[in-house]
Structure 1
Amino acid sequence: MPLHEDLASTVAQTFKSQWSVRNGTTVPIPERLALGNDAVQLEATVLYADLSDSTGLVDSYEPQFAAEVYKTYLHCAAKIIKERGGEITAYDGDRIMAVFLGERKNSSAAWAAFQINYARLHIIMPALTAQYPKATYELRHTIGIDTSSLFVAREGVRGANDLVWVGKAANHAAKLCSLSSDTPLWITGDVYARLRDDLKTTNGQSMWEKRRWTQMSDRTVYCSTWWWKV
């Protein structure tokens, strides 16, 4: 079939086909979802961890140095996410996406964010400075977390496909990473409301600052500079 006809047929079929949607409690295995209109609905919390100014990093430093920064940051983030019960769903260059499920999903995601911040400050940067004492590079990052119902489907073509996560949490967690890295941890009010008390305050001091997310209809968000030792 000519490519134009093949594309037109698939697009038309996608728009007119009925969806098969079922509720789920675990991250679906891609092979168990059809490439057609087949999906799983989940209540989930999404975490994005994103290196800041990766363009400046690759433009100003040797590729080996930039690759080492990428590798160490994403390695620490991935290990911490898994330790806190999250499932890694995607790597995208200088960022990682993870999904947390279950009753403690919001606290687990926030705890992971605190520990990733700790790893940045107290594991990666000291090792980088020890190896490259003349380097002026400072590793900065932003982590965004949101929670919502998610619609999970399989996208792509046979032999080259992956899961697509459709819903507020996936979109807003990613967009939070565009906010200031001066306060690198960002969560929505929906996440904050569900946190354990010890992830909100310590010794009577709040660990979060309330803000208005003006770019997203003044949605309530919270930011933090705190860390939690790994």
Structure 2
Amino acid sequence: MKAEVTRIFGDQWSTRNGQVVPEPEDISLGNEAVEFERATVLYADLSGSTAMVDGKKWWFAAEVYKTFLSCAARLVRAEGGSITSYDGDRIMGIFVGEYQCTQAARCGLKINFAVQQIVNPALETRYSDAKYAVKQVVGIDVSNIRAARTGVRGGNDIVWVGRAANYAAKLTDLDLAQRTWITEAVYNRINDAAKFGGDQKENMWKKFKWSQHGDMTIYGSTWTWRV
């Protein structure tokens, strides 16, 4: 371990520009990184999962995990994103390309629809006495980002280094009525169809100050997007 740590800290980094989200085997285990000038990261996280596993049967929690993650994963892929990791009760997706922010924001609204209109009705039908409803939070940010391979031979994966990965994950900690959160950088890049909804073309996003991060501007939405 000492030798490996010394090597990592001592080796020079090599970088190359990325056009598509890489697989782990596309990057060496050395100090090599794939750089994206701009990539949009989406985290979709179950809310209250700790209380659920403490208070419900294991198989009930497993079914909630599986149904939520299955719907979220399908929607990430349907919107052109790549699934980069499953982490317990959350999923991470990366969007690249010209319309990445719009695709990711729309995906967040679609996940809200899936939870409210697909997962929870099915749960209520199957377990009418459970007194439980699935809730989720989606966080989305965009920034320059780099992908590096980490771990050991036979057990490794990609780590995403950049603001978007951290901020998207942190946004899922917010506990308000809004289910989908985007940074101002994302809001400024989404098209009008992903900003305004309903017959009156209302703004689907409400402006907030993120007190945990220097009162930076973020936007939250309670809206859904039909799938």
Q: Shorter-chain TM-score: which interval?
A: over 0.9
Q: In 2, Cα distance between the equivalents of 1:181 and 1:50?
A: 14
Report deviation, 1:135.
1.4
Pairs aligned (count): 224
Is the partner of 2:86 in helix, strand or coil? Answer: strand
Any idea what the Cα deviations from partners look like across 1:19-66, whole Å, max 9, x if unmatched?
110111111121121111001001200000000010011111111111
- Match of 1:143, SS? strand
Residues 160-197 of structure 1: CA deviation (Å, up to 9, x unaligned): 00000000000000000000242111000000000110
Match of 1:74 in 2: 69
CA distance in 1, matches of 2:17, 2:183: 24
Gaps of 5+ in 2: none
Q: Are residues 1:197 and 2:192 paired?
A: yes
Give the whole-Å Cα distance in 2 for the aligned partners of 1:157 and 1:11. 12
The alignment yields a C-alpha RMSD, in angstroms, of 0.8
The residue that corresponds to 1:157 in the other structure is 152
State the TM-score, normalizing by the size of structure 2.
0.97
Kindly name which structure, 1 or 2, has the bigger radius of gyration based on alpha carbons: 1
CA deviation after TM superposition for structure 1 residue 143, in Å:
0.3
Distance 1:95 1:32 in 2: 24
Q: Which runs of 4 or more aligned residues in structure 1 lie more than 2 Å from their structure 2 counterparts after TM superposition?
A: none
| Residue 226 of structure 2: aligned partner | 229
Kindly provide the amino acid, as one letter, of the partner of residue 202 in structure 2.
Answer: Q
1:29 and 2:36 are equivalent in the alignment: no
Determine the structure 2 residue equivalent to 1:3.
none
- 2:215 is matched with which residue? 218
Kindly indicate whether the alpha-carbon contact (under 8 Å) linking 1:141 and 1:181 is maintained by their aligned counterparts in 2.
Answer: no
Distance 2:14 2:203 in 1: 45
Distance 1:204 1:29 in 2: 40
Percent identical: 50
Give matches, 1:141-180, under 5 Å: 141-180=136-175
Per the alignment, residue 58 of structure 1 pairs with: 53
